[in-house]
Structure 1
Amino acid sequence: MNFSAQAWDNIDNIYSSILKMEFIQQLEQGSLSKEIFQHYIIQDGIYLGEFARVLAIIAAKAPTADLQLEFALNAQIAIAVERSLHTEFFREFNISPEVALSSQASPTCLNYTNFLLATAYQHSFPISVAAVLPCFWIYLEVGKHIYQQVNEQDNFYQRWIDTYIDKDFEASVESVINVANDMATKASNSELALMNQVFYRASQFEWMFWDSAYHLERWQIN
């Protein structure tokens, strides 16, 4: 069994829990509160900005020019998606640029992005790739799952759903999976153990991110 298959098996409980979350269930039904989605999309914009930085660090550590280019392009795409969120979803939900720019990362968002940044700075290319893989992969699988359940004519959040079933996005996810598998075949035992560890931790953060959005998580003390 290759790295990605084993790592995905290890998070089966997390992924199953994600599909049962109220956030995902209500998004699937088109009944998710607009206030909750507004909170989520602001935090997602903050997350994507930091995620692009993580991908740029990974690109700098890439062992080949092709991999360097791939992760640099992924960083560019993350920034492009962030801008799309600002221009489309922010406008649709009446979120002004001033409100978006002045919003702070929630505790979960900050913890997640700091985990990814610390991993990318401190560890090798293979471990860093394993840490970002859940963000790509879980969103793809969740997007496909929701798409199979919804009626496109009725779901208010169809545009969000369409973002994560895009064929180009799926191709980029498969590419990152292949890179992780290739790196795992060359990794030392200790490096492979860390790859599995950070993949699992990032998957936990994916669950926590949606949960925190659903509960409109904010700092409890200022």
Structure 2
Amino acid sequence: MAFSDQLLEEGTHIWDAQKNHPFVTELAAGTLDEAAFKHWVKQDYRYLLDYARLFSIAGAKARDEATMTHLLGVAHEVLDYEMDLHREFAADYGISQAELESTEKAPTCVAYTSFLVRTAHEGSLAEIAGALYPCMQGYLDVGEHMADLATEEHQYTPFIEMYTSDEFREATAWCRDFVDECGERYPGEHDAMREAFLTSAKLEYRFWEMAYTQEGWGL
């Protein structure tokens, strides 16, 4: 069994929790409160800046040119393509660019991005691979689940299409292969990769909860 499959098997309960979260099921049905979706857009925009940073630092730690080139390319794609789509979502829901950029991170967003940045700076390339994998694979799997649940087009259909697109599938496939490559090259780091993977996966679940409850600091 590929190491990425081992990780996914260990995280099955987290994946099931994500798919059954009300943010996911209500978005699929088109009934999600717009305020919750807007909260997700703003928080995920802030998250993506650090997610791109994770790929950039991973690229600097890569030991071969091909891996370095691809990791830095993914960082560029996140900053360019994916964040552009978030800007489009924001515009559709009346969120200005200034509001996106000035949004304060919610506690869960702080926890997740802090974990990613710390792993990027202090962890090995293999640990970084484990930490970055749940986001891509999780959104693809949740997106496919939403597509299966959706019975008609609605205002959130573009979200579902974004995370089930051929481009996103290809990016996720490369990420999965990268995890497997690191698993083969660094067998002594399997435990560290597993811990990073499961931590990120749990924080992915918490991110849905953060958006659904419109989590803030209460101050």
**Which TM bucket (shorter chain)?**
over 0.9
Take 2:25 and 2:148, find their aligned partners in 1: how far apart are those partners?
13
Compute the displacement of 1:192 (Å).
Answer: 1.0
Conserved? CA contact 2:11–2:198, under 8 Å: yes
Take 2:191 and 2:101, find their aligned partners in 1: how far apart are those partners?
38
Deviations 1:55-100 (A, max 9, x none): 10011111111111111111011112113311x1111100122222
**Partner residue in 1 for 2:207:** 209
Identify unmatched segments of 5+ residues in structure 1. Answer: none
Conserved? CA contact 2:25–2:149, under 8 Å: no
Normalised to the residue count of structure 1, the TM-score between the two structures is: 0.95
**Partner residue in 2 for 1:197:** 195
What is the one-letter code of the residue matched to 1:204? K
**Partner residue in 2 for 1:179:** 178
Pair 1:160-2:159 in alignment: yes
Pair 1:219-2:207 in alignment: no
What is the one-letter code of the residue matched to 2:194? N
Take 2:217 and 2:46, find their aligned partners in 1: how far apart are those partners?
15
Identify unmatched segments of 5+ residues in structure 2. Answer: none
What is the one-letter code of the residue matched to 1:137? Q
What is the one-letter code of the residue matched to 2:86? L
Take 2:187 and 2:173, find their aligned partners in 1: how far apart are those partners?
23
Take 2:6 and 2:101, find their aligned partners in 1: how far apart are those partners?
39
**Partner residue in 2 for 1:83:** 84
> 1:152 and 1:61, CA in 2 relative to 1: closer, same or farther beyond 3 A?
farther
Conserved? CA contact 2:140–2:172, under 8 Å: yes
Compute the displacement of 1:135 (Å).
Answer: 0.5
Residues 128-143 of structure 1 mapped to structure 2, 5 A cutoff: 128-143=128-143
Take 1:152 and 1:52, find their aligned partners in 2: how far apart are those partners?
33
In terms of mean alpha carbon deviation, does 210-219 or 94-103 score higher?
A: 94-103
What is the one-letter code of the residue matched to 2:147? Y
SS of match in other structure, 1:220: coil
Take 2:121 and 2:83, find their aligned partners in 1: how far apart are those partners?
23
Compute the displacement of 1:151 (Å).
Answer: 3.0
Normalised to the residue count of structure 2, the TM-score between the two structures is: 0.96
Take 2:85 and 2:29, find their aligned partners in 1: how far apart are those partners?
24
SS of match in other structure, 1:165: coil
Take 2:102 and 2:175, find their aligned partners in 1: how far apart are those partners?
33
Take 1:218 and 1:203, find their aligned partners in 2: how far apart are those partners?
21
Compute the displacement of 1:126 (Å).
Answer: 1.2
What is the one-letter code of the residue matched to 1:107? P
Identity rate of aligned residues, in percent? 28
Residues 138-153 of structure 1 mapped to structure 2, 5 A cutoff: 138-153=138-153
What is the one-letter code of the residue matched to 1:41? V
Deviations 1:129-173 (A, max 9, x none): 1110000100011111111221343x2101011111111211111
Take 2:102 and 2:177, find their aligned partners in 1: how far apart are those partners?
38
Conserved? CA contact 2:19–2:25, under 8 Å: yes
Compute the displacement of 1:185 (Å).
Answer: 1.2
What is the one-letter code of the residue matched to 2:83? E
Q: Report how many aligned residue pairs link the two structures.
A: 218
